[in-house]
Amino acid sequence: MAERARRILFEVNCLTRDLALLQEHEMGSVKFGLGPLPAASILAEVLCALKRDWPRLLVNAEVSTGPALLDQLRAEQLDFIVVEQRYLPLSAELKVQRLAVEPAGWFVRPGHPWLAVSITADRLRQAALASVPTPEGAQARIREALGYLPGENLNFQVVSNDLHSLVTLTRHSDLVLLAPVRVVKARLDAGELVLLSVPEIFKLSAQFAIVNLAQRTLSPSAQRAIAAIEAANG
């Protein structure tokens, strides 16, 4: 009974929202969430584009973990979210738009001792890793590629939502950073980080997805924000 009441209330809210959208030519605000990787990769560019093209638009962009953002989306606290697609469950209530695959890699500071040796699975299993919170599916793929035994975990020594802090830490330590190439491209071009040369089987990738509630109409403002995200990701 409680679930049926919740569904009826949800549908009434959707109808009310649809009517408001029909009555207004322009919505004045948007609230969306991004995981740490898409935030570090595209958020600054997206905010600049929205401010340039829609200077009066009120934007609330939140950065958090994938599971937390999904909870907020389901609670209708966010218009949409952008997360690593491996976080997403199969669910008819979610509309998922996958973005282009992002190449990722293993990054170290200049002068790191591993730059002078061949990178093997055994060496990568010993790596002290730095990363944002990583979906279990992505961890399982890395464990499989590196030949981990059942029950063995990756050696994450530092995990943080703040990827820029992880980059700074990696530049001043012997940690190995896991990250999309685009996120650290400026550091690579400046010679502050180096991409480890690894066999093809150990190469990494990430894929982000834009997610909204399937039965909830996106406002014009949300559609503009999504268009800016698509442009930034392209």
pLDDT digits over 11-44, tens only?
667 556 655 654 444 558 899 999 998 998 899 9
- pLDDT tens, position by position, 91-137: 889 999 999 998 999 999 999 999 999 999 899 988 999 999 888 88
Residues 177 and 221 in one domain: no
Tell if the pTM clears 0.85, that is, is over it: no
CATH of the domain at 162: 3.40.190.10
Task: Identify whether residues 61 and 144 lie together within a single domain.
Answer: no
Q: Are the beta carbons of 41 and 183 closer than 8 angstroms?
A: yes
* 1 shares its domain with 13: yes
Provide the domain limits for residue 23: 1-101+208-233
pLDDT cut 90: percent of the chain above it = 56
**Does 170 lie in the same domain as 77?**
no
Our count of domains for the chain comes to: 2
Of all residues in the chain, what percent carry a pLDDT higher than 70? 88
193 and 120 part of one domain: yes
Based on the domain organization, do 159 and 73 belong to the same domain?
A: no
Q: How far is CA 163 from CA 7, 124, 229, in A?
A: 38, 21, 19
